[in-house]
């Protein structure tokens, strides 16, 4: 099964390359993307971006295709911030994904103080060791392990997968989620969700904001990392110190559009726009 969408507001490269997702790689004319226990092939054909999958409803939601990004781009430009204006225009095909919540919790614990190639490698090893083997379009892949499987793996498995000091975080957090579930996190507002996420082993402020933004759809979240600190100083002439204060500054400025703006700024700066 397949569906398509206006490529102007759905650019697979920009969507996948901006740090919000780790389970994808080049495939044929586009990318092979894996989320939870599903896979799709996404590529651009002329003025359309095409998605082939075995679950179109899942990936339509995953790529946030029910949302009109032309309006988001317009709102971003009204702030008259040069880097933001350039980025929103150049990367209008960038979309925020709606990813599996539990997968995001574990993936972003792995992401802390780490680089993207290494993160992708660790997650791939965990999926290869604990996930179920599947096939789509002749391509073999592994599902992301369930919390029950992760909780039974133990810190030693995570250490052997290259997680380093994060091994104990993954072991303890998976055991806690197996016991409690995450249903109690579902209906929380952004601030309360962040507060609750911070109570899990291995989740600090930036990871909590990433999980809230990319997993729970809290678009008012604004993750702050070294790139955002650089942007704050160089493009906003900021004088505040401390990531929590910088986060408060940006969420106060951009409100419910904070997550979109963060991605435009982050990706634009990394692309030397």
Active site residues: 206
In 3D space, the residue among 222, 216, 204 whose CA is nearest the CA of residue 111 turns out to be 204
**Residues 92-106, buried b or exposed e (16+ Cβ, 10 A)?**
bbbbbbbbbbbbbbb
Count the Cβ atoms, other than its own, within 10 Å of residue 58. Answer: 17
Rounded Cα distance between 110 and 117, Å, is 12
- Which structure tokens are listed for 214? 């990319």
Closest CA to 21 of 98, 90, 127: 98
| Rg over CA atoms, the chain | 18
47/10 Cα distance (integer angstroms): 10
Report the candidate in 119, 230, 220, 107 with the shortest Cα–Cα distance to residue 170. 107
Instruction: Give dist(CA 268, CA 88) in Å, integer.
Output: 8
């Amino acid at each position: 099964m397949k569906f398509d969408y206006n490529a102007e507001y759905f650019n697979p490269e920009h969507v996948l390359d901006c740090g919000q997702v780790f389970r994808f790689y080049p495939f044929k004319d586009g990318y092979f993307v894996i989320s939870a226990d599903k896979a799709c092939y996404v590529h651009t054909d002329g003025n359309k971006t095409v998605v082939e999958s075995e679950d179109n409803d899942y990936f339509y939601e995953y790529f946030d295709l029910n949302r009109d990004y032309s309006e988001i781009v317009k709102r971003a430009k009204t702030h008259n911030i040069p880097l933001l204006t350039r980025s929103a225009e150049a990367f209008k095909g960038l979309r925020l994904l709606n990813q599996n919540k539990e997968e995001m919790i574990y993936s972003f614990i792995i992401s802390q103080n780490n680089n993207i190639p290494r993160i992708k490698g660790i997650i791939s090893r965990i999926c290869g060791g604990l996930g179920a083997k599947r096939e789509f379009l002749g391509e073999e892949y592994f599902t992301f392990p369930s919390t029950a499987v992760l909780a039974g793996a133990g810190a030693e498995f995570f250490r052997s997968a290259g997680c380093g000091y994060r091994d104990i975080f993954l072991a303890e957090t998976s055991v806690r989620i197996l016991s409690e579930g995450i249903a109690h996190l579902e209906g929380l507002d952004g601030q309360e969700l962040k507060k609750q996420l911070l109570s899990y082993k291995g989740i600090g402020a930036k990871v909590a904001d990433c999980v809230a933004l990319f997993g729970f759809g809290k678009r008012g979240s604004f993750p702050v990392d070294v790139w955002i600190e650089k942007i704050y100083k160089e493009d906003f002439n900021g004088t505040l110190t401390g990531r929590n204060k910088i986060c408060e500054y940006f969420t106060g400025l951009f409100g419910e559009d904070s997550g979109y703006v963060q991605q435009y700024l982050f990706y634009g700066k990394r692309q030397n726009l």
